[in-house]
Structure 1
Amino acid sequence: MTWRWWPRGLRARLLVAFALVTVLGAVAAAWSSAGTASNALVTSTQQRLIETVLGQIGPIAPQLTYPPDQEALDRLRAAVGPDTLVTYRDLRSADGAGADLVTDELRTAVRAQHRLVTQRIIADGRPWLLVGTPIMITAPDGARTPSGIEVYSARDLTDVEQQIDGLARYAVITAALALPLAVVVALLAAGSVLRPVRELRDTARRLAAGELDARSSPQGADELAELTATVNEMAESLQTSMATMRQMQADARRFAADVSHELRTPLSTLTAVVEVMATAADGMEPDAQESAQLAITETQRLVRLVDDLMEVSRFDAGTAQLRMEEIDVVGAVRDCLRARGWLDQVDLVAPDEVRLRLDQRRLDVIVANLVGNALRHGARPVRVHLSVSREDVRIEVTDSGPGLPEQVLPHVFDRFYKADAARTRTPGSGLGLAIALENARLHGGDLSAGNAEGGGARFVVRLPRNPEDL
């Protein structure tokens, strides 16, 4: 899960992360120091109070008579100080809050363990240290036995608590003072880290924009410098590969254009000979007539292929030009179908008239390629539907065939691509759809391929309308 409040920029993330780490470190160090100091303060205070109580009991304990009377207990309580409770069986001597603060838990521990026991409590919002100890009788042989006298003293720890609160405030102040310092240090660190990153970003943008000579200067000897050197090596390899590829593409285009141009003259002669052969074919023997017809068909196919190659070479060279004129698109589509004898094979659904500025010859090429492709590879009926909106004019060509397979759709506009290997000898050159797409784009439009809802292939030409066409 991504936290929405977490900054997205690298600089912001570095600043926040560095500041958090610094502040948390300062807080942890301050709290650790405060905790250590607090524990040491409490321990030393507790030890001092215990020594005080024992020091007050020590001088008077040998003077007591056993069993003690009330006067002896009072003298012992007075020697220990205020907030003290001294007990011996049913006798007790109390002063201040000592009698009220001593807990049953402390008394039980003192009587069970026969040694000094301490306990810290909170009473009425104030911290107290309870010290309980038995008075022991030492025999001549050194044996120690409880005398039955128990001394309980309460010592107020408010001063210690205030000192601990002061240490906590000091820890908070230290953490607060560390924040601006952490931000300043983070800004300096982020600047030194992000500067080469920004340079790499700018270099990558220049490379993406086509400046293949863009490079970054490595600085230092850290991982960023190694990354910069790697990016430079990648850019150098890319520049070399692109230069080689462009040269190969230019050579291939020039070769196709040159070959197509050189074929025009012999093809013109061959076409003339074929036309003469066609007029004389009726008087030939059946075998000779079949051969002549095959030669005529293949020659016509070769002529169309050369024409398509010439057209593609003009697109690749960027020399294809539009001859714009205002025409009736519906009439131009109908003329295209009539010229090829397709009016009775195609259902044309269109408004009465659609005026648009475009190149009529290139529109004829687009429609002829799409309808011809539908008639050859789809199934009838073939439908041509023209629709108009404020933004564009759409020409939709659909057939009733099986449609385009999913694996074919990404390649349908590729040059010389044929989905079925059995179609390699069909009259098409394999360039028709590619030429139709280029002509649509030359007008600022587009051509898309897909499948109709009821089945069959569906091609849609979009030709944009200019404000003056509305």
Structure 2
Amino acid sequence: MQLRTVVITVLLSTLALLGTGVFLSQQIASGLFQERFRQVESEANRGLSQVKSTLEAVSSTDRTGTVAFVRDTLRTLEGDGATVQRDFILTPLPGEGNIYVSAQASGGITSAVVPEELATAVRENQGQYWQSTALPTSDGVSPGLVFGTKVALPPGREYALYLVYDLESVQETLNYIHRILWIAGALLLVVIGGIGWYVTRQSLQPVAHAAAVSEKLAAGQLEERMEVHGADEVARLAQSFNRMADSLQDQIQQLETLSHMQQRFVSDVSHELRTPLTTVRMAAEVLHDARDEFDPINRRSAELLYNQVERFQSLLNDLLEISRFDAGVVDLDSDNWDIKPIVQRAVDMAQIHADRIGSELRTHYPQGPIVASMDPRRIERVVRNLVLNAVEHSESKPIDIFIGENEHAVAVSVRDHGIGLTEEAASRVFDRFWRADPARARTTGGSGLGLSIATEDARLHGGLLQAWGQVGDGSNFLLTLPKSKDMVLGESPLPLIPADAPTPEIAPLISDLEAAEAEADPETEAASSSFEEPTAEAIQHAADTAAEPHPVQQLTDQEGRSER
């Protein structure tokens, strides 16, 4: 900013000096010319008048005497008493009669320096006339003035007599003044630039200091403050800035304290609940195993107790995992794995829920292994959460699972064709406990933390989890992972917006048609949400019967049940 201010100041000063210099140059040149012209005009008029009266008074009829008299008379015009160099030109005018005196000139000049307009005026009129001209010199040309009049010489012939004044000395004076102006202007610009640099530096230094302190505050150095000097506006700005920084520091520290207390509370409560929950779970398992001996009411109560304890256990595990992410103590056990069997294991575990809902899980895998550096337990949990989330919102429609790779990354996308997402929902779907429709019941028994944990797992791998949705046309969740830790995550191998997504112009028409069909068949929506909630026993059975992984490396960790 300082450099820009100085540059603008110098540029504007340059324009002002150029305008002033041009004006001064014109005024000085005009003044010099007018002053010298008045002097030259007076001398020229006086000299021409005297010579004219002298020549016209001669009464000699002798050629030799006439020539000698004219030469002696014209010699008086060669600079005697003149303020600048002066020469004469005498040339006969067209006419009849004898010519005693031939054309004459002094100083080596010729009649070529006489402008045609001046020659015509002298030839056709009486009186004295003048005009500016350019005189040839060894270095080029110089300005000059030509004064002329008509004279008569014996034996009655008319001549044109011109006095030529060389204004080279005036031009040299003007050139000298121009050089002085240029030098003075350049020095003045340097001085203006220096003054501008100093003034802007003094003025902007507090602003620069405030910017530096602001950057340090933004970087987390909350103890930084501005220096206060004096009692002017800058000092008041520094005082206000420091008060604002103090307030921000206090609020941030309070928020950090509250955040630590919240994290500690969640972690402590989760850990403290594990022991009684284990006891309750063991009792629930005993009751669940003996449920066949109970009457129908107690049997149903035992089943509900067992299912809800399992769900509570899942929620507790998710809370513990979130607290680990918040505390930054999560470990990543990564190695090179083939992602295809990991994805297939998650799909197999979600198959029981898809069968209950009536959704078909369709897999689209490329040929051959797709190997990347990952923690298989966490990636399996991410994919399982995405598939279960798609099943919950599929409305009994097919679900497509894609796997892709390129030179730098691998990707998994889960595409459902259910209720879809709005733009706001797509931007908030990874928030903790957030639900697009709070009135909608969960059908897969999730905790509401599944997608949040999935996002943290993807970020832990250096990857990215994205969501796209369109109301009435389903949603698409895209997981992209780098193939190795040292690779920068580039473009995903799979598109976030699926190829079968309708264009913005067609989408409203499809939504209107689906709305019309829903009005025609009001039992459709009720049927899609009337399925029985899957039990934890069924989920565990699906995990135990999941397909074996690809032989690149044996998977042994099946832990990590977590759903949205």
| TM-score over 0.5 for the pair | yes
- Structure 2 residue 132 is the aligned partner of structure 1 residue 120: yes
Residue 20 of structure 1 and its aligned partner are, at CA, apart by: 3.7
> Which of 438, 448, 469 pairs up with 2:466?
448
- Structure 2 residue 384 is the aligned partner of structure 1 residue 368: yes
- Structure 2 residue 423 is the aligned partner of structure 1 residue 412: no
| Residue aligning to 2:318 | 308
Residues 49, 412 of structure 1: CA spacing in aligned structure 2 closer, same or farther, 3 A cutoff?
same
> Which of 328, 339, 346 pairs up with 2:361?
346
- Alpha-carbon distance in 1 for matches of 2:119, 2:449: 102
**Contact 1:57/1:79 (8 A) holds in 2:** no
Q: Where do 1:7-22 residues align within 5 Å?
A: 10-21=1-12
- Alpha-carbon distance in 2 for matches of 1:274, 1:389: 49
**Contact 2:142/2:167 (8 A) holds in 1:** yes
Residue 433 of structure 1 and its aligned partner are, at CA, apart by: 0.5
SS at match of 1:421: coil
Residue 163 of structure 1 and its aligned partner are, at CA, apart by: 2.2
| Residue aligning to 2:169 | 159
Residues 289, 157 of structure 1: CA spacing in aligned structure 2 closer, same or farther, 3 A cutoff?
same
- Alpha-carbon distance in 2 for matches of 1:229, 1:194: 17
- Alpha-carbon distance in 1 for matches of 2:208, 2:482: 42
User: What does the per-residue CA deviation read over 1:196-253, in whole Å, with 9 as the maximum and x for residues that have no partner?
Assistant: 4543343233223211222232456676656555544443333233222222322332
Residue 127 of structure 1 and its aligned partner are, at CA, apart by: 2.3
**Contact 1:327/1:356 (8 A) holds in 2:** yes
Q: Where do 1:15-414 residues align within 5 Å?
A: 15-21=6-12, 23-24=14-15, 27-56=18-47, 83=88, 96=105, 101=114, 104=117, 119-122=131-134, 125-130=141-146, 153-177=163-187, 188=198, 192=202, 195-219=205-229, 228-272=238-282, 274-275=284-285, 278=288, 279-280=290-291, 284-285=295-296, 297-323=307-333, 329-339=339-349, 341-342=351-352, 345-348=360-363, 349=365, 358-378=374-394, 380-387=397-404, 391-401=408-418, 403-414=420-431
SS at match of 2:413: strand
- Alpha-carbon distance in 1 for matches of 2:112, 2:405: 102
Residue 79 of structure 1 and its aligned partner are, at CA, apart by: 7.7
- Alpha-carbon distance in 1 for matches of 2:239, 2:89: 80
Residues 423, 50 of structure 1: CA spacing in aligned structure 2 closer, same or farther, 3 A cutoff?
same
1:365 maps to a residue whose letter is R
1:448 maps to a residue whose letter is Q
- How many residues are aligned here? 442
| Residue aligning to 1:422 | 439
5+ long unaligned stretches in structure 1: 1-9, 135-149
**Contact 2:385/2:451 (8 A) holds in 1:** yes
- Structure 2 residue 474 is the aligned partner of structure 1 residue 459: no
- Alpha-carbon distance in 2 for matches of 1:235, 1:132: 88
| TM-score, with length taken from structure 1 | 0.71
Residue 459 of structure 1 and its aligned partner are, at CA, apart by: 2.2
- Alpha-carbon distance in 1 for matches of 2:92, 2:183: 48
- Alpha-carbon distance in 2 for matches of 1:419, 1:207: 37
SS at match of 1:398: strand
SS at match of 1:83: strand
Residue 313 of structure 1 and its aligned partner are, at CA, apart by: 1.6
5+ long unaligned stretches in structure 2: 79-86, 151-159, 487-551, 554-564
1:440 maps to a residue whose letter is A
- Alpha-carbon distance in 2 for matches of 1:116, 1:289: 139
**Contact 1:219/1:225 (8 A) holds in 2:** yes
**Contact 1:107/1:132 (8 A) holds in 2:** no
- Alpha-carbon distance in 1 for matches of 2:163, 2:451: 104
Residue 437 of structure 1 and its aligned partner are, at CA, apart by: 1.3
1:346 maps to a residue whose letter is L
SS at match of 1:418: coil
User: What does the per-residue CA deviation read over 1:282-341, in whole Å, with 9 as the maximum and x for residues that have no partner?
Assistant: 85457x776766665555444433332222122112233345577664444444444454
SS at match of 1:129: strand
- Alpha-carbon distance in 1 for matches of 2:481, 2:51: 113
| Residue aligning to 1:146 | none
User: What does the per-residue CA deviation read over 1:41-100, in whole Å, with 9 as the maximum and x for residues that have no partner?
Assistant: 11110111123234447889999999x9999xx899888775378999x99x99746897
- Alpha-carbon distance in 2 for matches of 1:99, 1:318: 99
- Alpha-carbon distance in 1 for matches of 2:312, 2:51: 132
Residues 45, 222 of structure 1: CA spacing in aligned structure 2 closer, same or farther, 3 A cutoff?
farther
Computed over aligned residues only, the root mean square deviation of the Cα atoms, in angstroms, reads: 5.0
**Contact 1:390/1:465 (8 A) holds in 2:** no
**Contact 1:381/1:399 (8 A) holds in 2:** yes
1:429 maps to a residue whose letter is S
SS at match of 1:423: coil
Residues 127, 272 of structure 1: CA spacing in aligned structure 2 closer, same or farther, 3 A cutoff?
same
Residues 230, 53 of structure 1: CA spacing in aligned structure 2 closer, same or farther, 3 A cutoff?
farther
1:462 maps to a residue whose letter is L
- Alpha-carbon distance in 2 for matches of 1:232, 1:40: 63
- Alpha-carbon distance in 1 for matches of 2:91, 2:233: 75
More RCO (CA 8 Å, sep 6+):
2
**Contact 1:370/1:459 (8 A) holds in 2:** no
Percent of aligned pairs with the same amino acid? 28
**Contact 1:98/1:153 (8 A) holds in 2:** no
**Contact 1:129/1:154 (8 A) holds in 2:** yes
- Alpha-carbon distance in 2 for matches of 1:299, 1:320: 26
- Alpha-carbon distance in 1 for matches of 2:258, 2:437: 29
- Alpha-carbon distance in 1 for matches of 2:233, 2:38: 56
- Alpha-carbon distance in 1 for matches of 2:413, 2:128: 102
Residues 59, 120 of structure 1: CA spacing in aligned structure 2 closer, same or farther, 3 A cutoff?
closer
**Contact 2:291/2:302 (8 A) holds in 1:** no
